[in-house]
Chain A
Amino acid sequence: MANHNKAIKISKKHLLGIQDLSISDVNFILSEAKQFINLNKSKNKKLDILRGKTQINLFFEPSTRTQSSFELAGKRLGADVMSMNLNNSAIKKGETLVDTAMTLNAMHPDIIVVRHQDSGASNLLSQKVNCAVLNAGDGRREHPTQALLDALTIIDRKKKIEGLKIAICGDIVHSRVARSNIYLLNMLGAEVNIIAPSNLMPKDIQKLGVNSFSDMKKGVKDCDIVMMLRLQNERMTSSFLSSNREYYEYYGLTPDKLNFAKEDALIMHPGPMNRGIEIDTKLADDINKSVIKEQVELGVAVRMACLKIFCE
């Protein structure tokens, strides 16, 4: 671990979205995260940076990788980590998010990591508690640590982001990952192509500074990165698509479509994957092209960096 002599401050108290961050905030988080990559590969992974601090993971929506990643990140930094899976149980009892926040606030946590099915939930929570709030996904709005780990993964493999052409393909309208990535990749100087059937494309997305395509081959053409997103069937309240097999035919990542991208293009996916729906199963496992496992690995480093920075 390198010692940090200068105390660089982050401009925000909470990590609610990439939208709120400045480029120096982002670079600071990414550089901190880099420090943790090797630590996570070493034998002794435990630090005491956050010893004595209390981290509460508040998950209103089921999550496997993000929750375990945050839990592990907190533990490796020495924090006391408590995970609460509320999956609507508190809501069923009639407790509102604000009341839950007040209750937890009385326990004096140092940081709350929250995932909620409603957009803006982390903003609301942050207004009601004294500690820092990290957004681990709010509705369709933002999932900042996912975008940061994606950026770290790209930098790790491509050594840069500026000037890269990056395609994000799939269920954009329901995707917080897409939104956070659009903000972050734009900020870092990439050219972003958004690919989705019109039913899954949010209105006026071009105004966020991206190109939009409903033809996947045109969208992935000459791209350095192809990021596939999961079809969020749980958020689809009415018919958006005719069938999964038709979707796979037109928007699933298959070798023939990937051929339109650059030869050394990398495949990313935030997980969990629907194999055979969004992505050809062999491509997903192709160690030369797919960095999906690396994304998970670097996710822990990014979350360690965020916990460290926002806890201080």
Chain B
Amino acid sequence: MMKKKYFLNANIIDPQNSIDELGGMIVNEEGKIEAVGKKVNSNNIPSREKYIDLKGKYIIPGIVDMRVFVGEPGFEYKENFRTLSEAALSGGVTSVVTMPNTNPIIDNVSIVDFLKRRGRDKSKINIFPTASLTKSLEGTNMTEFGLLQKKGIIGFTDGYKTIQNTRLMSRIMRSAYDLNCLVMQHVEDEELSKDGMVNDGIISTKLGLQGISELAEKIIIERDLTLLEDFNCRYHISQISTEKSLDVIKNRKDLINFTCGVSINNLSLNENDIGDFRTFLKLSPPLRTEEDRLALIKGINNDLIDVIVSDHKPEDEEQKRLTFAQASTGASGIETLLSLALELYHNESIKLNKIIKALTCNPAKILKINKGNLTIGNNADFCILDINKPWIVKKENLISKSKNTSIEGRKLQGKVTNTFVKGEELFKI
């Protein structure tokens, strides 16, 4: 049994419980939150107990990252549960939703036990695995949503693939409706975006790379939201990247229930950052225009976008040291998610509370998990944040097994100094 921990004089932010105040927190011997908020001060801790003075620092709930690719099983050389867990903890992430694009693919009940066992034994964070919507990710036959969910699958998605077949999508929604399952869709018309690598526009024209039209995203969103009118299952758009998509979402938000996420990459970078064929910025969805980026920020501010994700996709260097066309897609980002998001706070794009909300209680609510909060009685999953600490992203300092960061050399402000899961300090600078 661990010792009781006392934290005092911190700025405490817990959007779920509307806490945004100076105060303290007590974590009991079982690793649960005993008290939190302004009422916790030096007067209500026993005088012989030591406390940790967090003057100038923040306590926030552990981050819930809704979109994480892990290499296990099949691609352990890119990332395994142990390295993922270490990387996540260093970024203040205590819960992750893992994508099913592994080898073998997470599409049947028998693999789920293995996955949960590995997740439990090798990682120290909370792993919430998804399963694929369709068998072998082929987009033709549904997986067993009900049985998989009973086994502990948190939601269903084909990861970086989209259900192209409209009839199948409508049937998926009906099944998900019956079984109360969460469907997460990567929104991209794959015929329209075929061979595409970057945003379709002046950059694709200049670089001579096949573009991905913003319409490819809009078409699937419109299709899915239309289908949802019929059977309003739990539906989440994994990531959007364009202003046009936001227009659609704005028009439908009052009529149907759905939620929507955005990658930190699309909030912090634009297509110009690709520069001289930087393959580490080959992403899906692609980086778009600066206008799109600003629209996405606005989308967070007016609650059209619910969640910010890292879209953590580890790729080894060999897969990136190729021509742009041949290089694999995706960037590692779980450990820089919060710090990069804080850039939006420091440059006054988004209020701190809103950023934390999109990283903690909002994803938890969508997933229907009791995480991402500092509710009394809950497991103490939280982190301590030095919001002004400057640091520079260097790939050799990254903890993740893969070093394909999209923000190499970026000067950031704000860093997690300590991360706790179930009251246990698992990361410390």
CB distance from A149 to the nearest CB of B (A): 20
Residue from the set B194, B202, B204, B323 with the largest chain A CB neighbour count within 10 Å = B323
- A288: Cβ under 8 A from any B Cβ: no
- Residues of chain B within 8 A (CB-CB) of A98 are 321-322
* Given known contacts A97-B322, A124-B277, A139-B325, A179 and B194 CB-to-CB distance under 8 angstroms: no
CB distance from A179 to the nearest CB of B (A): 6
- A191: Cβ under 8 A from any B Cβ: no
- B206: Cβ under 8 A from any A Cβ: yes
B323 and A203 contact, CB distance less than 8 A: no
B325 and A203 contact, CB distance less than 8 A: no
CB distance from A168 to the nearest CB of B (A): 14
A81-130 interface with B by 8 A CB criterion: 96-98, 116, 118-121, 123-124
A119 and B194 contact, CB distance less than 8 A: no
* Given known contacts A119-B277, A123-B276, A138 and B208 CB-to-CB distance under 8 angstroms: yes
CB distance from B372 to the nearest CB of A (A): 40
Instruction: Mark B193-230 against chain A: 1 for CB-CB distance below 8 A, else 0.
Output: 01100001110111111010000000000000000000
A140 to B206, CA, bound (A): 9
CB distance from A186 to the nearest CB of B (A): 13
Total interface residues in chain B, CB < 8 Å: 21
Instruction: Mark A139-178 against chain B: 1 for CB-CB distance below 8 A, else 0.
Output: 1111000000000000000000000000000000000100
A140 and B202 contact, CB distance less than 8 A: no
A203 and B324 contact, CB distance less than 8 A: no
- B103: Cβ under 8 A from any A Cβ: no
* Given known contacts A120-B324, A123-B276, A142-B208, A203 and B202 CB-to-CB distance under 8 angstroms: yes
Query: Which of these binds chain B: A45-53, A204-212, A217-225, A275-283?
Result: A204-212
- Residues of chain B within 8 A (CB-CB) of A120 are 207-209, 276-277, 323-324
A176 and B208 contact, CB distance less than 8 A: yes
Q: How many A-B residue pairs have CB under 8 A?
A: 70
A204 and B202 contact, CB distance less than 8 A: yes
* Given known contacts A98-B322, A118-B324, A119-B324, A204 and B277 CB-to-CB distance under 8 angstroms: no
* Given known contacts A123-B276, A203-B202, A237-B194, A141 and B322 CB-to-CB distance under 8 angstroms: no
- Residues of chain B within 8 A (CB-CB) of A207 are 202, 205
A203 to B211, CA, bound (A): 9
* Given known contacts A119-B277, A124-B277, A208 and B206 CB-to-CB distance under 8 angstroms: yes
CB distance from B122 to the nearest CB of A (A): 31
CB distance from A134 to the nearest CB of B (A): 17
- B326: Cβ under 8 A from any A Cβ: yes
- A202: Cβ under 8 A from any B Cβ: yes
A119 and B205 contact, CB distance less than 8 A: no
- Residues of chain B within 8 A (CB-CB) of A179 are 205-206, 208
A124 and B200 contact, CB distance less than 8 A: no
CB distance from B279 to the nearest CB of A (A): 9
Contacting residue for A202 out of B195, B205, B322, B324, CB 8 A: B205
B201 and A203 contact, CB distance less than 8 A: yes
A203 and B194 contact, CB distance less than 8 A: no
Interface residue SS majority, chain B: loop
A119 and B200 contact, CB distance less than 8 A: no
- Residues of chain B within 8 A (CB-CB) of A142 are 208
- Residues of chain B within 8 A (CB-CB) of A44 are none
* Given known contacts A202-B205, A207-B202, A119 and B211 CB-to-CB distance under 8 angstroms: no
Instruction: Mark A42-72 against chain B: 1 for CB-CB distance below 8 A, else 0.
Output: 0000000000000000000000000000000
A141 to B277, CA, bound (A): 11
Residue from the set A124, A179, A207 with the largest chain B CB neighbour count within 10 Å = A124
CB distance from B80 to the nearest CB of A (A): 25
CB distance from A99 to the nearest CB of B (A): 9
Contacting residue for B326 out of A118, A237, A238, CB 8 A: A118
- Residues of chain A within 8 A (CB-CB) of B206 are 19, 179, 208
A239 to B23, CA, bound (A): 65
A124 and B195 contact, CB distance less than 8 A: no
Contacting residue for B209 out of A116, A119, A124, A205, CB 8 A: A119
A29 to B17, CA, bound (A): 69
B275-306 interface with A by 8 A CB criterion: 276-277
- Residues of chain B within 8 A (CB-CB) of A121 are 323
CB distance from A135 to the nearest CB of B (A): 12
- Residues of chain B within 8 A (CB-CB) of A19 are 206
A298 to B163, CA, bound (A): 53
A194-234 interface with B by 8 A CB criterion: 202-205, 207-208
The residue in chain A whose Cβ has the minimal distance to the Cβ of B324 is A120
A120 to B282, CA, bound (A): 13
- Residues of chain B within 8 A (CB-CB) of A202 are 204-205, 211
Contacting residue for B194 out of A96, A123, A205, A238, CB 8 A: A238
CB distance from B315 to the nearest CB of A (A): 14
CB distance from A96 to the nearest CB of B (A): 6
15 contacts between A and B (CB under 8 A): A19-B206, A96-B322, A96-B326, A118-B323, A118-B326, A119-B207, A119-B325, A139-B323, A140-B209, A142-B208, A203-B202, A204-B202, A205-B205, A208-B202, A237-B195
Q: Which 5 A-B pairs have the closest CB atoms?
A: A141-B208, A140-B208, A120-B277, A118-B323, A119-B208
5 other A-B residue contacts (CB within 8 Å) besides A98-B322, A120-B207: A140-B209, A141-B209, A179-B206, A205-B205, A207-B202
Q: Which residues of B contact A (CB under 8 A)?
A: 194-195, 200-202, 204-209, 211, 276-277, 318, 321-326
